[in-house]
Chain A
Amino acid sequence: MVEVPEHLLKRSAERRAQLSGTSGEAAPAASTETTPETPADAAPAEATAAAPAAVAGDDSQEITEDRDGVPAHLLERARKRRLAAAGGAAGAAAPAAAAASTSVKTAAPGAPSGTGPDGHTQRLLTVVKSGSIQQTRAEAVDKVHTWPHLLVIELAAALAVLAMMLIFSALVRAPLLGLADVNQTPNPSKAPWYFLGLQEMLTMFHPMVAGVTIPGMGIFLLIISPYVDKNPSNKPDDRKWAISMFTLFLVFWTILVIIGSFFRGAGFNFVFPWTNGIFFEL
């Protein structure tokens, strides 16, 4: 069975007694409690003047009171607040402040605000750490309208590329050699430029390694790289290894393509383009 705290039992008993008709004492006290605002506005100076006096008068009785482990200075602060309210309610009857404070203390359980044993109006139920509370509002992101900011850039880029392509195509002709002839093998025969890295490796490895295993491994590594790279940062400083690996791959591949394109002549032998000419068609 759940144990009901003593102060709650006490409060409910008092409430029950009050409802059953013995409201003789409680009613006037409640009226002073519920109407503090109106006179306080009229005479704030008097109220503030009265409050310190009241505190001084009550010091001896109450500040040392430390029930339920509530620190004395908090009790004092709460009492000051109450006194200020009571003093305001008293208005011109400032001399009665000390008496009023004691009456507040005793009559507090009967007040409609439902205060605790010492007139506390709040209780600490639990402390929740700020990090454990789910954020319900997304953080503000600096955004701009797609129209015109993005669409204008895209349109400009598309037009620029189109213009570039038109000019380049008008000036440079696509190659068209003689009719295909199975019986006449050109020397050298080269694959399209993007496969020349593979053809270059064909000179070093068995065709199965150069033509199938290595490109297959390359594609496989590219596909799994986001699942292998567990580093969550995208800052270049935090991912030196990944960046250096990828750069190594790019440089290695570019060098192979360049050698295959420009440094391979008849018989796919190594030549220098400035002595033997270029054997390369796009």
Chain B
Amino acid sequence: MADGNGNSTKLADRASELGGKVTDSQAWNSIFRPGSIFRKGYTDSPRNRSYVVMNSLLYHLHPVKVKRHAVKVSYTLCLGGLSFFTFILLTVTGIFLMFFYRPTDTQAWANIQQLETAVYFGSLIRNMHRWAAHLMVISVFLHMSRVFYHGAYKAPREFNWVIGVILLVLTLMLSFTGYLLPWDQLALWAVTVGTNMMGYSPVFGTQIRYALLGAKEISGDTLLRWYVLHVILLPFVAVIFMAIHFWRVRKDGGISGPL
């Protein structure tokens, strides 16, 4: 028993010694910049708390200090952050789905079937992608309502509100283009109803509809077109607007309030 204890303490010593060597190494210190909580000898002090943010990528998103009321969950309900997090979640799960999907009218539906039945976690990831998409529409909408009720769109934040409305439209378009991709009856007819409405736009209705569908009616061309919109073009545009949106939050003096 005593022998076992001695061995285990020796092992623990060896382990901590090895850990110390690793965290002392040039490689480790080249990865984690000064002030990182993963560096050796990090202690909790106001100075180090500042360095954690200032010396990391986070500094592009957050200032070193924020207003005390801004930290209250009851003020923001985390809705903006939740929208962003669902976007990240959708990107990750979406990339996974792209490995198993071909955007053609003969293969798309079968690919989804195979994904559900023959791929490890395929069904789970597809479910997550679908539910997170709905959650994102809801959270973006609730985020907008929260901002309105707090009067947070007022000067100097008017333009960030406009960017927010653009992001809401982009979110709806992302969701709607994704709706077609499974190429099942639900997808086809939901998109038929949606695009028929757009066909009634004044003056250019027919042209707009043709540009969206890539043909006179929904077909394999539409599928390819919406796939490109869904996985590249709209996310690309959305990321640019998100970057401006987050940047403006800080430039306009942090989040609004308190009431």
- Interface residue ranges, A against B (CB under 8 Å): 141-151, 153-154, 157-158, 161-162, 165-166, 168-170, 172-182, 184-186, 189-195, 198-199, 202, 206-208, 210-212, 219, 222-223, 225-227, 229, 231-236, 239, 242-243, 246, 250, 281-282
Dominant secondary structure at the A interface = helix
CB distance from A142 to the nearest CB of B (A): 4
Task: Give A21 to B63 CA distance when docked, in angstroms.
Answer: 69
Task: Give A56 to B129 CA distance when docked, in angstroms.
Answer: 96
The answer to whether B184 and A178 touch across the interface, beta carbons within 8 angstroms, is: yes
- Interface residue ranges, B against A (CB under 8 Å): 37, 46, 49-50, 52-53, 58, 62-71, 73, 78, 81-82, 85-86, 89, 105, 109, 112-113, 116, 123-124, 126-132, 134-135, 137, 144-145, 148-155, 157-158, 161-162, 165, 168-169, 172, 175-176, 179, 182-190, 192-194, 196-198, 200-202, 205, 217-218, 256-257, 259
Task: Give A229 to B148 CA distance when docked, in angstroms.
Answer: 11
The answer to whether B187 and A180 touch across the interface, beta carbons within 8 angstroms, is: yes
**Given contact pairs A179-B185, A212-B201, A226-B157, A194 touches B152 in the complex (Cβ within 8 A):** no
Give the top 10 A-B pairs by smallest Cβ distance, nearest first: A211-B197, A234-B151, A226-B158, A169-B127, A174-B130, A180-B188, A147-B52, A189-B189, A207-B200, A143-B65
* 28 A–B contacts, CB within 8 A, in A order: A142-B68, A143-B65, A145-B46, A146-B52, A146-B63, A146-B64, A146-B66, A147-B49, A150-B62, A154-B81, A169-B128, A176-B112, A177-B186, A184-B185, A190-B189, A190-B190, A194-B137, A195-B176, A226-B162, A234-B152, A234-B259, A235-B151, A239-B151, A242-B151, A243-B149, A250-B145, A281-B186, A282-B134
CB distance from B97 to the nearest CB of A (A): 11
Q: How many A-B residue pairs have CB under 8 A?
A: 212
Task: Give A181 to B198 CA distance when docked, in angstroms.
Answer: 22
Q: What chain B residues lie within 8 Å of A207 (beta carbons)? A: 196-197, 200
Task: Give A182 to B213 CA distance when docked, in angstroms.
Answer: 14
Q: What chain A residues lie within 8 Å of B158 (beta carbons)? A: 226-227
CB distance from A47 to the nearest CB of B (A): 52
Q: Which one of A142, A182, A231 contacts B188 once the chains associate, using CB atoms below 8 Å?
A: A182
The answer to whether B131 and A189 touch across the interface, beta carbons within 8 angstroms, is: no
Q: What chain A residues lie within 8 Å of B123 (beta carbons)? A: 173
The answer to whether A191 and B112 touch across the interface, beta carbons within 8 angstroms, is: no
Q: What chain B residues lie within 8 Å of A173 (beta carbons)? A: 123, 127
Q: Which one of A219, A232, A236, A282 contacts B169 once the chains associate, using CB atoms below 8 Å?
A: A219
The answer to whether B172 and A165 touch across the interface, beta carbons within 8 angstroms, is: no
Task: Give A243 to B152 CA distance when docked, in angstroms.
Answer: 12
**Can you name 19 extra interface pairs (CB under 8 A) apart from A180-B188, A282-B134?**
A143-B67, A144-B67, A145-B53, A148-B49, A150-B70, A151-B58, A154-B78, A157-B73, A170-B127, A174-B131, A180-B183, A182-B217, A192-B190, A212-B200, A212-B202, A219-B169, A223-B165, A226-B161, A232-B154
Q: What chain B residues lie within 8 Å of A246 (beta carbons)? A: 145, 148-149
CB closest chain-A residue, reference B37: A147
The answer to whether A143 and B189 touch across the interface, beta carbons within 8 angstroms, is: no
The answer to whether A191 and B131 touch across the interface, beta carbons within 8 angstroms, is: no
Task: Give A182 to B256 CA distance when docked, in angstroms.
Answer: 50
Q: What chain A residues lie within 8 Å of B50 (beta carbons)? A: 145
The answer to whether B169 and A186 touch across the interface, beta carbons within 8 angstroms, is: no
CB closest chain-B residue, reference A236: B259
Q: Which one of B68, B145, B152, B183 contacts A143 once the chains associate, using CB atoms below 8 Å?
A: B68
The answer to whether B176 and A185 touch across the interface, beta carbons within 8 angstroms, is: no
CB distance from A195 to the nearest CB of B (A): 6
Q: What chain A residues lie within 8 Å of B172 (beta carbons)? A: 194
Q: Which one of A153, A184, A192, A234 contacts B73 once the chains associate, using CB atoms below 8 Å?
A: A153
CB distance from B90 to the nearest CB of A (A): 10
Q: What chain A residues lie within 8 Å of B105 (beta carbons)? A: 180
Task: Give A180 to B107 CA distance when docked, in angstroms.
Answer: 11
Q: Which one of B71, B89, B162, B189 contacts A162 once the chains associate, using CB atoms below 8 Å?
A: B89
CB distance from A158 to the nearest CB of B (A): 5
The answer to whether A179 and B193 touch across the interface, beta carbons within 8 angstroms, is: no
Q: Which one of A165, A180, A219, A234 contacts B109 once the chains associate, using CB atoms below 8 Å?
A: A180
The answer to whether A208 and B64 touch across the interface, beta carbons within 8 angstroms, is: no
CB closest chain-B residue, reference A170: B124
**Given contact pairs A157-B78, A194-B137, A219-B165, A141 touches B67 in the complex (Cβ within 8 A):** yes
The answer to whether B68 and A174 touch across the interface, beta carbons within 8 angstroms, is: no
Q: Which one of B52, B70, B126, B185 contacts A177 once the chains associate, using CB atoms below 8 Å?
A: B185
Q: What chain A residues lie within 8 Å of B196 (beta carbons)? A: 207, 211
Q: What chain A residues lie within 8 Å of B127 (beta carbons)? A: 168-170, 172-174
Task: Give A235 to B161 CA distance when docked, in angstroms.
Answer: 18
**Given contact pairs A148-B49, A243-B149, A190 touches B184 in the complex (Cβ within 8 A):** no
